Chain A
Amino acid sequence: MEILGLVLLWPLLVLVVGLAFISASSVSNAIIVLPVFVVFLIFVFGLQGKLGTGEVPHGAVTTQTEDLDKARRGVVAFSIALFLPIFVKYLLSVSGGDLTAMILALVFGFAILIWGMFVKDNRVLTYANIIGGAFVIIYLYFQLWSLGQLAQVIATAFGLVVAVAISIIKFREKLI
């Protein structure tokens, strides 16, 4: 079973990343593939060592297994961060884009973001949720702005409440 998992892992990850690129190009246009590819490179190569692979002492030579582990973490974090806004886009599309669905999606986006901020001992989830949640919120605010003044008031009020709540939880000990 372990061997099967080991064999299936990389082909499955390649399939997931390929689907992420196809989904990204289908929700906007083919031009978006280039910036998405840059983000992919940043995740896989730029964030190496920051995705919870442990402290490697300066000057130490990394093994191929460690490099593969780093790349795997980058691929998973990138896929989650990219699929989250695409998932929300389809959610709004299925629901017809009404205000209730948008507010629910906004709650979902903030929940993902807060989860990313407070999750312990899992840097992959931290980076994936913070970046993916931020994409979700930016996308939703663009959508909400076109729904009129009430939607703008609700969106800004909700954002303010969440920002104040996170600040109180995060910096409580510094305020006292």
Chain B
Amino acid sequence: MKNQTLKIFFGLIIFLFSVALAYFTANYVSTSGYFDYWATLAIFGAVYVLIGVAVSMIFSISLGFLFAADVVILHLLFQYYGQWADTLKLILIGGILVILYACAAVFLADKKSARADPTPHQNPTPDSFPVSPAQ
């Protein structure tokens, strides 16, 4: 349990630092005139996705980067989605619908029964053994 909490804590730290790094860098390069703000965010989003996929064996690091990429990509979409052509939006949403239908059909079919046993199964512990009167 302690290990799980530690993993979540470190994942959260990685997520917060990743988001902060992306936004601080984008602010810095745009105010200094080196590079565009949104382009910097897009590059950070892509790099975070790549890192998240590359380190997928370590859940806390991977999820920290991937959720940070989510924040950056959603911010970009919120900024630019309205300016896209309707054809592009149609293709994007059509593709997402196909992926969602595939996921629902393949992975989310109904389960027959969650559990047959109404009570949670407990292994008998030495303390739970009945004590005979002779003892």
Q: Which of A64-88 contact B (CB under 8 A)?
A: 66, 72-73, 76-77, 79-80, 83-84, 86-87
Q: Given A76-B108, A124-B108: A87 and B115 within 8 A (CB)?
A: no
Residue of B nearest to A77 (CB): B104
Residues of A within 8 A of B114 (CB): 53-56, 62, 66
Q: Count the A residues whose beta carbon is within 8 Å of the partner chain — how many?
A: 47
Chain B nearest CB from A123 CB (Å) reads 6
Residues of B within 8 A of A51 (CB): 108
Q: Is B82 an interface residue (CB 8 A)?
A: yes
- Whole-angstrom distance between the alpha carbons of A53 and B108 in the complex? 9
Residue of A nearest to B112 (CB): A54
Q: Are A22 and B118 in contact (CB under 8 A)?
A: no
Chain A nearest CB from B15 CB (Å) reads 11
Residue of A nearest to B4 (CB): A64
8 Å CB contact of B93 from A59, A87, A123:
A87
Stretch at the interface among A11-19, A38-46, A142-150: A11-19
- Whole-angstrom distance between the alpha carbons of A86 and B100 in the complex? 15
Chain A nearest CB from B3 CB (Å) reads 15
For B77-119 the 0/1 string (1 means CB < 8 A from A) is 1100110001101100110110011011100111111110011
Residue of A nearest to B118 (CB): A57
- Give the dominant DSSP class at B's interface: helix
- Whole-angstrom distance between the alpha carbons of A97 and B57 in the complex? 49
Residues of B within 8 A of A93 (CB): 86, 90
Residues of A within 8 A of B90 (CB): 87, 90-91, 93-94
Chain A nearest CB from B58 CB (Å) reads 9
- Size category, B interface: 35 or more
Residue of B nearest to A10 (CB): B63
Residues of B within 8 A of A60 (CB): 115, 118-120
Q: Are A122 and B66 in contact (CB under 8 A)?
A: no
Q: Are B74 and A18 in contact (CB under 8 A)?
A: yes
8 Å CB contact of B59 from A7, A59, A79:
A7
Q: Are A23 and B87 in contact (CB under 8 A)?
A: no
Residues of B within 8 A of A86 (CB): 93
Chain A nearest CB from B65 CB (Å) reads 9
Q: Is A173 an interface residue (CB 8 A)?
A: no
For B40-71 the 0/1 string (1 means CB < 8 A from A) is 00000000000011001101001100110110
Residues of B within 8 A of A91 (CB): 90
A residues with CB within 8 A of B:
3-4, 7-8, 10-11, 14-16, 18-19, 22-23, 26, 51-62, 66, 72-73, 76-77, 79-80, 83-84, 86-87, 90-91, 93-94, 121-125, 128
Closest 3 CB pairs of A and B: A52-B110, A54-B114, A54-B111
